[in-house]
Copies of this chain bind each other. A is one copy, B any other.
Amino acid sequence: MTEFRFARRSAILGKSVFDHAPGTIALNSGAAYPPCLPDVVREATEAVGPLREEAMQYAPLMGLDDLRDEICNFVAEDGIKANRENVLVTYGSKSAFDLALRTFCEPGDTVIVTRPTYMTAVHIMRTHNVRFLDIGQDEQGFDAEELARKLAIMENNAEQMPKLLFDVPDFHNPTGVTTSLARRKRMLELAQRYNFVICEDDPYRRIRFEGEVIPSIKSMDTTGHVISLGTVSKILAPGLRVGWAIGDAGVIRRMAMQKADGGSNAFAQRIVVQLMRSNKMAKHIDEMIHHMRIHRDEMIAAFAEHLPEAEIRAPQGGYFLWAKLPEESDAERLVELGIEEGVEISSGRLSFPNDDPGNFIRMAYSFIEVDDIKDGIAKLGVAWRKLQTQAQAA
């Protein structure tokens, strides 16, 4: 048996967040709601028909000009001023984030994240061998004052200062929290003061059920310290694999040079151009909001019925519900018992980059039908009672 000489980062092995236990109700998947997946037959036919030479050829490194223009129009609604040179098309916001890490971080560099943070971002950051400075989050979102205190201490101690901050300020994954305007301003001040770059990952921004829209951090950025990461995965379809990074033109160009694959998929990019130009995208977003609000409400109601011990905050948008179980509850074990009962959720452990409190779980309400949400949480309730019984017996 060959003993391969892997890089350190290859120690990350084990379960992918894309693996699901077969035959279970998948409450662990932030995949799209199947009945809402867009019909793109017309757009695809055009892309590979009259536009075949574009669709079947290598795309420009930065992405299609038409798409970069449409993305500028799209984010203008968020108050973000961008020109084509500020936009890099990628395979989704995850790959855009990966390019930002490649552009800024050496192994051992520090990235600022919320505690907890997006599990797949943790995975990607681990492949870069970075360290995590994890910062708390409350009902106002990212605890910018905790960060300010910690940075001041680090600077005093002449420690190596963080280079990047990753956050999902709107309908945070996993907690669903939206960061307040005051906190966002403070985050930006700190980025400018300590010269780190904020990766503002905003896939759920348009999937708002209620409450006031809060300006994106990027819309307040005058110094290039914010890279806005976007994707069509939640506003159109994940399968299109089209996302983007918006930032300072020099930063964006450097990020482009880190792409291993050239100009990505012209074919899917053209489909997205057509969907953005037509009313299909706007209609699709309205539909998603309609369904996701119902899904959220059903899941919260099911928790009240089957697992009332869980502490839950209703998110104003997005795909996820985050639950705190009573102290000392073993969330990892609950996940296992859930699979035995036929429901799959995510342990909070995946979302804590450093220490896991051990009693948090994440549920997605995006992918499954309302009946399965009810049924899934009922099964989770059964698993929860089993966990209680086992804990008492131990």
Partner-B contacts on A (CB < 8 A): 2-10, 12-14, 16, 18-19, 31-32, 34, 37-41, 44-45, 47-49, 52-61, 91-92, 94-95, 97-98, 102-107, 109, 120, 123-124, 127, 163, 195-197, 223-225, 233, 237-241, 248, 250-251, 253-254, 256-258, 260-268
Contacts and interface: CB of A to CB of B under 8 A. Distances in A.
B48 A40 contact: yes
A82 B31 CA distance: 30
Given A2-B224, A265-B265, A56 B102 contact: no
B260 A241 contact: no
A261 B56 contact: no
Given A39-B48, A45-B45, A120-B262, 18 more contacts: A2-B248, A4-B248, A6-B103, A6-B254, A10-B103, A18-B58, A31-B57, A32-B56, A44-B44, A44-B45, A44-B47, A56-B238, A58-B238, A92-B262, A94-B260, A98-B260, A123-B257, A265-B268
A106 B103 contact: no
A73 to B, nearest CB: 23
A124 to B, nearest CB: 5
A254 B14 CA distance: 9
A79 to B, nearest CB: 20
A241 B55 CA distance: 10
A237 B55 CA distance: 9
| Residue of A7, A97, A163 most packed against chain B (CB within 10 A) | A7
Complex copy number for this chain: 2
B124 A260 contact: yes
A370 B34 CA distance: 48
Given A2-B225, A97-B260, A106-B7, A56 B195 contact: no
Contacts of A250: 4
A60 B18 contact: yes
